Amino acid sequence: MAVAMARRPALFQERIVPRDSSLAGYAALVHAYDLPVPVRSPSCVSSGFIGGTRRTTDEWTIFDKRYGTEDSLRGHLSFALRHETVDLYALKKLFEVVATADIEAIVTAEMTGGTARRTWFLYEWLTGNRLDIPDLDRGNYVELLDSRHYFTSSPTNSSRHRVRDNLLGISAFCPIIRRTEYLNEAVEQRWDVRARDLVGRIGKGIVARAASFLLLADTQASYQIEGERPPRNRLERWMRAVAQAGRRPLSIEEIVRLQHIVIEEGRFIQRGLREKGGFIGDRDRNDDPLPEFVSARHEDVPALLEGILSAGERMGQSDVDAVVQAAAVAFAFVFVHPFEDGNGRLHRYLIHHVLSERGYTTPGMIFPVSSVLLERQEEYAQRLQSFTGPLLPFIEWVPTADKNVRVLNQTADLYRFGDCTELAEFLYRCVIQTITNDLPNEIDHLARYDEAKARIQDMIEMPDAQISSLVTFIRQNGGTLSKKRRRKDFERMLNHEVSEVEAIVRDAFDIEEPSPDEEPDEGSTFRR
């Protein structure tokens, strides 16, 4: 157990190791055992750092020399579980190569210790192999994850290990989401309650219309993110599907049904789960793939989807925050990329599904999250790439004759385990923006619209649809009715009527009156 771990390389995964520092925890284990594992935030212990417990840089977490640990499997495994974010993928890859006897020795050396029992549980949970250690029959239970630092599910007691399994998922899929200051504050703010309070103060008619407009905006944005502008009938089909989000239980069959709505025919695009490889990226001049990310092997897709759905069910039953659950489920889905096409829209559908199913959104209304994602499209892409980019070097692939990719190594665990904290923070920011900006703005707009229409109806007899068009044209034209539009649709209106209606619309929508010295153009009104 005192085998040297060669902790002092000059480089670690293309990072320069800080001066006077030794690798610690996951980084030391990955280096020593040559594990195919991306370490996103490696740790080291500095012999010269005594200014505090730890400090972070863009690439490293540097610990005070007092955190120095035994240079062994036992020492670095204990360091990782005590001081670093739980990395289930790294642990599984480690457990696959170390001798079973070494893990048994670590556990039996301190059977009653919390770290030893967590190691024992995680080894058997991740590998499916049972250590030659008798069940514990006494002692207090310990939490597998510290609920002060992680989002956790309702615990299930493992009497063999005297451990409370409070992971968010199951061994088939399990994300890790840390309780950052931002996420804790966002959860405590109860944004769903704020949204319901806002909607509750508004008349049902306006709420229904706002829900319709927000649904349309979200659906259009979801297609625009994919660079598509579908005909109205396709848009309406998907709108109807999104409007039903949360009402039907999720299953692989349900997700395939939804993909058939997105992809209407299968002449050029395969509908249903992929039966070949997939990637996201570009192509070279010979049309060969240049992947930025390689999708999960198609052989692994069904099991991964089942795992994602089961983890989502566990989170829902445990009352894990709905936005946190939505992030874990929806982003895991898009990383697996189970379909040849339609993955992005279904990924965003899953956000709506979880929020609706959990009662986070007001009944009958969706938050236009896709609209915010479209507005933040560059950041959206960066968040996706920040998760997938570090995985690519660990996926071995070759191009195929049909200009696709074929994965050569076992990669399912890359999609099965990961830290989704930053993705949850990003989704929360998007949801908060819809509640503080998009939703109240739409309600405010409709209220002003109704006010303008009512005042116009009091002064002139005109069909409701025509008044609606009149308000829209004046508002869109900066508070005036253009000459062209007046000649085409409103030539029977008198000059003073046009002026009064323009004034009403400007007043309702707080539009400044145009200066009389402004040069008339296509958007100017008739003036005599």
Catalytic positions are: 337
10 and 61 Cβ atoms separated by less than 8 Å: no
Q: How far apart are CA 154 and CA 172, in angstroms?
A: 18
Beta strands 289-294 and 417-419 are unpaired
Q: Quote the tokens at residue 402.
A: 């049909």
Which residues neighbour 125 within 8 Å (Cβ) at sequence distance 6 or greater?
165, 171
CA–CA distances in Å: residue 101 to residues 92, 113, 118, 132:
16, 18, 17, 9
Give 347's contacts (C-beta < 8 A, 6+ positions apart): 330, 331, 333, 334
**CA dihedral sign, ordered 115, 121, 126, 127:** positive
Q: Report whether 20 belongs to an annotated binding site.
A: no
DSSP-H helix ranges across 21-160: 26-33, 73-83, 88-97, 100-109, 114-127
CA distances from 344 to 132, 251, 380, 433, 471 (A): 46, 18, 12, 21, 36
47: amino acid identity, one letter: S
Three-state secondary-structure class, residue 231:
coil
Residue 369 one-letter amino acid: V
Query: What does 319-337 look like in DSSP terms, one character per residue?
Result: T--HHHHHHHHHHHHHHH-
Six-digit token pair at 140? 């207090």
Q: Is there a binding annotation on residue 341?
A: yes
In the sheet that holds 54-56, the strands lie side by side as 21-24, 43-46, 61-63, 54-56
On whether 342 is known to bind a ligand per the annotation, the reply is yes
Counting every residue written for the chain, the total comes to: 528
Locate 256 and state its tokens: 């395939």
3-class SS of residue 24: strand
CB 367 within 8 A of CB 9: no
**Rounded distance between C-alpha atoms, residue 520 and residue 526, angstroms:** 9
Annotated ligand binding at 344? The verdict is: yes
Tokens matching residue 432: 């908060």
Q: Name residue 494's amino acid.
A: L
Distance CA 497, CA 494 (A): 5
Interatomic CA distance for residues 440 and 434, integer angstroms: 8
Residue 161 labelled as part of a binding site: no
- What is the C-alpha separation between 26 and 413, in angstroms, rounded? 17
413 annotated among ligand-binding-site residues: no
Ranges of H-type helices in 84-231: 88-97, 100-109, 114-127, 181-188, 191-200, 204-225
CA 273/CA 294 separation, integer angstroms: 16
Q: Is 237 annotated as a binding residue?
A: no
Paired tokens of 472: 């829209």
Residues in binding site: 341-348
Residues in binding site for ATP: 341-348
